[in-house]
């Protein structure tokens, strides 16, 4: 009897082992099967001809592309859209701006650089990015994939921490053959991952530091005040689950000057190395005696809703007012400052005197370097070392830009009491706005 029971147990265990083995094999094979089936569906949709990507980048959480497709008649186009799909149920369309250069259709995503394909909204899967072209008098649209004609290569992007989880996204081009035809593909593949030690969600920049004290009122310095704010915001955001990096703290502040922000251990370099998606840079204004209130400076060509929410919450939670400065103002408390023609001319004169080629600055180039230089190609970063007063920004051609906002906490002549005594209120407002948007 005992032997029969033992045999039965052994048989049951063997059956369980076989079933588990089959189950594991199926699970391992399922992604491969799904991927193959998805690709076959994509190949059946797209033309063998590809659209060309001339520029692509991430800015904050948004993925953006620019490019062209040749031999398209202007009079024959009804609309052009960008499509992202997993090849099965998920499909989402995005607006594309387009114009014609002869028979070349030139396209770009929405002019708001922080409003492209929001990678963090995607689930763990592989996605295909396609161009959808609807022609006049045609029932069905044509779909094109993309080839890479840019200088940029694969992008590895880490999502912002959510519920203590992260995903890594691989944005890449590939060439594949299907039914003896060659195809180009642009894919975004996401999988769960533990955030690497050197990668962060948010970077906080305390303006000035070290020998560069910034503005001052007696013993109170801009560098000291901004560092206090940076530490408080870091603590608040970390309590909310974000991984946060400071560009300077007590251990490295003394090494800073007004010109070493692009050095290996400079504030801009530290920020860019973090691969953060968001940067908050704190400063204090000097200005005329008549000016007061806080100002949030934003990247040009960006959606200003997040900045607007920060401004409204700061105004609500503290006794500081929106700034009464009307220069560069977009809405209450929100500003966008670019280079002006006169400043561009002044920069060119300086370059000529010092013997280097003037920087490629336009009136679409952000004036504030904290915003411009961490944005890479998305914001027209240009500090490439030609001006020997500054080190080269090693990330000025980066295809991964940090969405940056510079917060001028107030004017030191009129708002110092509020700035010094209401830090917690400022920080609460900024923390809540970040949580609502990132």
Confidence of residue 29 (pLDDT cuts 50, 70, 90): very low
The predicted pLDDT at position 199 comes to 98
Q: Based on the fold, state whether residues 131 and 211 are members of the same structural domain.
A: no
15 vs 153, higher pLDDT: 153
The CATH number linked to 410 is 3.40.630.40
* Same domain, residue pair 146 and 170: yes
Q: Is residue 313 part of a domain?
A: yes
> Is 413 in the same domain as 270?
yes
Mean pLDDT of all residues belonging to the chain: 93
Residue 160 lies in a domain: yes
Q: Are residues 168 and 64 in the same domain?
A: yes
pLDDT digit string (tens) for 198-240? Answer: 999 999 999 999 999 999 999 999 999 999 999 999 999 999 9
Phi-psi region of 70 (alpha: psi -120 to 50; beta: other; left: phi over 0): beta
Determine the angle formed by the axes of helices 423-437 and 305-317, rounding to 10 degrees: 150
Of residues 203 and 111, which shows the higher confidence score?
203
Mean pLDDT check: name the lowest of 25-39, 84-98, 118-132, 385-399: 25-39
**CATH at residue 116:** 2.60.40
CA dist 374 and 380 (Å) reads: 10
**CB atoms inside a 10 Å sphere around CB 33:** 10
Domain assignment of residue 106, given as a range: 45-193
Residue 165 has pLDDT above 80, yes or no: yes
193, 217, 247: which is the final residue of a domain? 193
Residue 340 and residue 323 in one domain: yes
- If asked whether residues 317 and 423 sit together in one domain, one would say yes
Domain count for the chain = 2
Give tens-digit pLDDT for 55-78.
999 999 999 999 999 999 888 899
Q: What is the pLDDT of residue 15?
A: 65
Q: Is residue 4 part of a domain?
A: no
Render pLDDT for 316-344 as a digit per residue (tens, 0 to 9): 999 999 999 999 999 999 999 999 999 99
Question: Which pTM was predicted?
Answer: 0.91
pLDDT band for position 254 (50/70/90)?
Answer: confident
Q: Is residue 62 part of a domain?
A: yes
Q: Is residue 333 part of a domain?
A: yes
Q: Considering the domain boundaries, does residue 105 fall inside one?
A: yes
> Both 55 and 141 in a single domain?
yes
Which residue, 123, 131, 120, 124, is CA-closest to 97?
A: 131
Nearest CA among 148, 186, 8 for reference residue 68? 148
Q: Is the pLDDT of residue 25 over 80?
A: no
Is 186 found in the same domain as 220?
no
| 238 or 27, higher pLDDT | 238
Rounded-to-integer distance, Cα 421 and Cα 376, Å: 36
Q: What pLDDT was estimated at residue 6?
A: 63
Q: Are 332 and 363 in a shared domain?
A: yes
Task: Mark whether 237 and 359 lie in a shared domain.
Answer: yes
222-239 and 423-437 are packed helices; what angle lies between their axes, rounded to 10 degrees? 50
How far is CA 265 from its chain centroid? 22
186-214: burial string, b at 16+ Cβ within 10 Å, e else? bbbbbeeeebeeebbbbbbbbbbbeebeb
Residue 287 counted as domain residue? yes
The last residue of one of the domains, among 193, 225, 254, is: 193
On the question of pLDDT at 24 being above 80, the answer is: no
User: Is 16 domain-assigned?
Assistant: no
Check whether residue 261 and residue 395 sit in a common domain. yes
Strands 334-335 and 329-331: antiparallel
Task: Round to whole Å and give the CA distance between 276 and 227.
Answer: 19
Domain boundary among 176, 193, 210: 193
Q: Are residues 67 and 210 in the same domain?
A: no
Do the Cβ atoms of 168 and 208 come closer than 8 Å?
no
């Amino acid at each position: 009897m005992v032997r029969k029971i033992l045999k039965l147990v052994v048989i049951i265990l063997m059956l369980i082992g076989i079933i588990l083995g089959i189950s594991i094999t199926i699970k391992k094979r399922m992604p491969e099967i799904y991927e193959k089936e998805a690709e076959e569906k994509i190949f059946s949709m797209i033309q063998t001809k590809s659209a060309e990507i001339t520029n692509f980048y991430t800015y904050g959480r948004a993925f953006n592309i620019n490019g062209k497709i040749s031999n398209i008649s202007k009079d024959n186009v009804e609309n052009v859209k960008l499509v992202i799909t997993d090849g099965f149920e998920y499909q989402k369309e995005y607006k594309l701006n387009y114009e014609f250069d002869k028979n070349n259709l030139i396209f770009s995503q929405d002019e708001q650089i922080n409003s492209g394909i929001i990678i963090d909204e995607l689930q763990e899967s592989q996605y295909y990015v396609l161009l959808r072209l609807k022609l006049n008098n045609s029932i069905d649209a044509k779909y094109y994939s993309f080839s890479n004609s840019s200088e940029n290569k694969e992008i590895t992007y880490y999502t912002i921490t959510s519920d203590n989880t992260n995903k890594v996204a691989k944005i890449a081009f590939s060439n594949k053959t299907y039914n003896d035809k060659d195809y180009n593909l642009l894919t975004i593949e996401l999988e769960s991952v533990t955030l690497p030690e050197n990668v962060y969600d948010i970077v906080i920049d305390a303006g000035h530091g070290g020998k560069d004290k910034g503005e001052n009122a007696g013993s109170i310095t801009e560098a000291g005040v901004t560092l206090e704010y940076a530490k408080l915001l870091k603590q608040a955001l970390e309590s909310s689950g974000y991984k946060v990096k400071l560009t300077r703290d007590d251990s490295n502040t003394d090494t800073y000057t007004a010109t070493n922000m692009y050095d290996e251990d400079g504030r801009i370099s530290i920020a860019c190395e973090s691969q953060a998606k968001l940067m908050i840079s704190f400063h204090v204004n000097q200005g005329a005696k008549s000016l007061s209130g806080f100002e949030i400076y934003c990247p040009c060509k960006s959606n200003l809703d997040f900045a607007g929410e920060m401004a409204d919450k700061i105004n609500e939670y503290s006794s500081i007012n929106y700034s009464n400065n009307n220069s560069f103002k977009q809405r209450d408390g929100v500003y966008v400052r670019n280079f002006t023609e006169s400043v561009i001319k002044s920069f060119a004169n300086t370059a000529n005197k010092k013997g280097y080629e003037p920087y490629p600055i336009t009136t679409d180039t952000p004036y504030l370097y904290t915003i411009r230089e961490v944005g890479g190609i998305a914001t027209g970063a240009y500090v490439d070392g030609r001006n020997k007063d500054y080190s080269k920004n090693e990330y000025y051609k980066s295809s991964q830009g940090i969405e940056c906002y510079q917060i001028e906490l107030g004017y030191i002549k009129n708002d110092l009491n509020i700035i010094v005594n209401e830090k917690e209120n400022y920080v609460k407002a900024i923390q809540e706005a970040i949580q609502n948007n990132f």
